[in-house]
Structure 1
């Protein structure tokens, strides 16, 4: 069973940009984020958007590539084989027959994605923001984006078999 579904990873990576377009829209959190970040619309327009979105997509792809280990429980069983299920004992095949699709739902992936957002993304972003002297509003807008995004990404990756 292959847990690294390239199509799921690609769709999950693109979903990060889609959520970002919505989350950072001026009608949602965009204006509050610009104010908390100390940025103006003119400053934002001055960037190389192809480079920014291209790198954002690459980073989202890297993140989506790591998520199966967090949101798909069966990855733990696969890791016990050294990553090569063809060389595993019969007990691995028996386990996968019995439990190979357990907890492989969008809802379960969202749960683990949100947990990753709270316990991984929030502390990283929060620590950086504290040293950058950014406000709690800035931390919660950015961490909120990643919590929602990781939830959606996790749901896509977990459910897509």
Structure 2
């Protein structure tokens, strides 16, 4: 049983855009984010949206690719075989028969995605924002987006077998 599920990763990547459309909507956090970022609607309209959304989707895909290893525990067992289940010992096959679907739920993936958001995204975004002299509000809005997004991405990736 190998774990690379390209369809789950693609779905998770698109979920990042969907959450972003909601999160950064002016009726949710969009206006507060623009204020905290020091941006106006005119400035935002000046960007190349195809490039922005295309790269955002690529980056979300990259996150999903690595997130799979964080949210699916059995991937650790596979890594012990050198990453090739076809040459693994019988003990790997027996282990996967017994435990191959343990903790493969949306809820468990959300847990690990949220943990990744708190311990990866928040420190990275927070550090950048501090040096950019951005406010706590800016840090919380952007980090909150990534914590929620990585939670949803983790849930999709973990549950999709």
Which category describes the TM-score, using the shorter chain as reference length? over 0.9
TM-score by length of 2: 0.99
TM-score (norm 1): 0.99
Q: Which residue of 1 aligns with 2:68?
A: 68
Deviation at 1:26, TM superposition (A): 0.1
How far apart in 1 are the matches of 2:2 and 2:53?
A: 29
CA RMSD of aligned residues (A): 0.4
CA distance in 2, matches of 1:63, 1:39: 26
What corresponds to 1:131 in structure 2? Answer: 131
Q: Which runs of 5+ in 2 are unaligned?
A: none
> 1:32-51 maps to which residues of 2 (within 5 A)?
32-51=32-51
SS of the residue 1:83 aligns to: coil
Q: Give how far 1:74 is off.
A: 0.2
Q: Could you say which residue in structure 2 is the equivalent of 1:151?
A: 151
Q: Give the distance between the partners of 2:122 and 2:32, measured in 1 at CA.
A: 18
What are the superposed Cα offsets for residues 137-160 of structure 1, whole Å, 9 maximum, x if unpaired?
Answer: 000000000000000000000000
In structure 1, C-alpha distance between the alignment counterparts of 2:8 and 2:2, rounded to whole Å = 12
The Cα shift of 1:2 comes to 2.2
Q: Is the 8 A contact 2:2 2:78 kept in 1?
A: no
SS of equivalent residue, structure 1 residue 67: helix
CA distance in 1, matches of 2:27, 2:54: 24
* C-alpha separation in 1, matches of 2:3 and 2:150: 17
> For each residue in 1:64-100, what CA deviation from the matched residue of structure 2 results, as whole angstroms up to 9, or x when unmatched?
1111110000000000000001111111000000000
Q: What 5-or-longer segments of structure 1 have no aligned partner? A: none
Count of residues in correspondence between the two structures: 161
- Asked whether the 8 Å contact 2:109–2:155 carries over to 1, the reply is yes
Structure 1 runs of 4+ off > 4 angstroms? Answer: none
- Provide the residue aligned with 1:6 in structure 2: 6
d(CA) in 2 for partners of 1:7, 1:86: 22
| Rounded Cα–Cα distance in structure 2 between residues aligned with 1:4 and 1:153 | 14
Cα shift at 1:123: 0.3
Match of 1:15 in 2: 15
